[in-house]
Amino acid sequence: MKILVVGGGAREHAICDAVRRSKDAQLYSVMSNLNPGIKLLATDYLQENETNVEKIVQYAIEKKIDLVIIGPEAALEAGIVNELDKINIKSCSPSKEAARIETDKEWMRNLLKKYKIPGQLKCQTFTDSKKAKGFIEDLNGEVVVKPIGLTGGKGVKVAGDHFKDIRETLTYVKEVIEKKIGGKAKVLIEEKAVGEEFTLQAFSDGKNILPLHAVQDHKRLLPNDQGVNTGGMGSYSCEDGLLPFLSKGEYEEGAAILQKIIESLDKEGCRYIGPIYGQFMLTADGLKIIEINARFGDPEALNVLSLLDTDFVDVCKAMINNTLYSKKLKIKKKSTVCKYVVPEGYGIKSMIGEKIFVDEESIKKTGSRLFYASVNKENDFVTTSSSRSLAIVGIADNIVEAEKMCEKALTYVKGDHIFIRHDIGTPKLIQKRIDHMNQLRGM
């Protein structure tokens, strides 16, 4: 079976790795950078912009591709799945319409309202910043300001983190509307949820879901959750599939919400096929939906795909054929700790073209997995670009051992201008999460 994976980041390297672990899969790739990990796994690749629908469709026809998997959200929004569908090439990713669950935040919130899905937050959209003032005041300024469309993770701003007061909040509201940040002269204002954030990813065939282990990502650049928001600096998951602050009941609540979203998308006439990603905030008042993504998370895909023992291509086929109900996932009962290596200055102004030496053999011997992201390979080193460079995933019986394994492997990654958030997955930071949740619950 010929499988084409679109995207050249660490998430896509993990997807390609899962594809190659399958019995009868031949891998093809379209990526904008030359990911050295993907290059090694693929039978053939095309270096092309991941939103160039025409070129990607042409490549899929030329290579007689049977199945396409799309990594990045921008490619979903560009409508690759719809165009491939017209020529009868199946994709294990949602159509442009179903992907609106991620690409149009107003539509997503309206869908939740219409189908009375639990975990909603107070929210409203505005096209006039003056009219937003009353809504923000009613929420005592405790709000989050979001552009409607995609902004590559950089458009959302949170009161307390990004705004000192309502005046600053309104300045940003005005900016989003006037500059049409996120594609529309409109802004979404949401109630700010306070708690611990986590990700729940699942496979969906349009009717049913199969959830994976819960993961906690770390968006802030600097240790102890300081600094700017990034695409994600690293993530962890636990051997029981839960998180140290998350109970089984709460996990199941999250899965039930994703299931209801899939059912409501089906009722809206846009059947959702592919991985779905729920970002939740566990608050003193239960689970709240922060966002829904129409794809795997990056880095969260690295945690869950590293543990998947079921043949990934079989799961993809079941998603397309609407037969997930007959499948049971085999997932390793292990903990994972993932840490990204990023260029110095990442999130502000990355140092581009810097050398990173990666001792792949020694990393492998630690038991860790290595996933390349936005780097270019030259001789015996890789060079940085503006985005994240590579990720290491430690996999062990418990989180303490997985974190140590990840750190051991990181000693085999050397560069003068790289940065790593070493605190991810450490007992100290995990205890902080537990204490925070206990404090909110009044325990």
Binding interface with ligand AMP (CB under 6 A): 121, 144, 153, 156, 158, 190, 192-193, 197, 219, 279, 281, 290-291
* Total residues binding ligand GLY (CB under 6 A): 6
Out of ligand AMP, ligand GLY, none, which partner does residue 297 contact, by CB within 5 to 8 A per kind? ligand GLY
CA atoms of 61 and 440, how far apart (whole Å)? 54
Q: Which is nearer to ligand AMP, 239 or 298 (CB)?
A: 298
CA atoms of 216 and 440, how far apart (whole Å)? 18
CB of 242 to ligand AMP, least distance (A): 20
Q: How far is CA 164 from CA 73, 138, 160, 171, in A?
A: 31, 17, 6, 11
Q: Is 329 exposed, middle or buried (0-12, 13-18, 19+ CB in 10 A)?
A: middle
Q: Does 298 bind ligand GLY (CB under 6 A)?
A: yes
Out of ligand AMP, ligand GLY, none, which partner does residue 423 contact, by CB within 5 to 8 A per kind? none
Out of ligand AMP, ligand GLY, none, which partner does residue 197 contact, by CB within 5 to 8 A per kind? ligand AMP
User: 């190659």: which residue's tokens?
Assistant: 20
Exactly one of 50, 205, 300, 403 binds ligand GLY (CB under 6 A); which one? Answer: 300
Q: Does 303 bind ligand GLY (CB under 6 A)?
A: no
Q: Does 297 bind ligand GLY (CB under 6 A)?
A: yes
Q: Does 253 bind ligand GLY (CB under 6 A)?
A: no
Sheet of strand 187-191: strand arrangement: 123-126, 187-191, 143-147, 157-158
CB of 295 to ligand GLY, least distance (A): 8
Which amino acid is located at 291 in the chain? Answer: E
DSSP H helices in 29-87: 36-41, 53-62, 73-77, 80-86
Q: 11-50: which residues touch ligand GLY (CB under 6 A)?
A: none
Q: What region does 237 belong to: left with phi over 0, alpha with psi -120 to 50, or beta?
A: beta
Out of ligand GLY, ligand AMP, none, which partner does residue 298 contact, by CB within 5 to 8 A per kind? ligand GLY
CA dihedral sign, ordered 358, 306, 259, 433: negative
DSSP H helices in 120-164: 129-138
Q: Which is nearer to ligand GLY, 15 or 132 (CB)?
A: 15
Q: Does 102 bind ligand GLY (CB under 6 A)?
A: no
The answer, yes or no, to whether the previous bond of 299 is cis (omega within 30 of 0) is yes
Q: Which is nearer to ligand AMP, 85 or 197 (CB)?
A: 197
Q: 201-240: which residues touch ligand GLY (CB under 6 A)?
A: 217, 232
Q: Across the strands, what pairs with 217?
A: 235
Q: Which is nearer to ligand AMP, 106 or 190 (CB)?
A: 190
Q: Which residues bind ligand GLY (CB under 6 A)?
A: 217, 232, 293, 297-298, 300
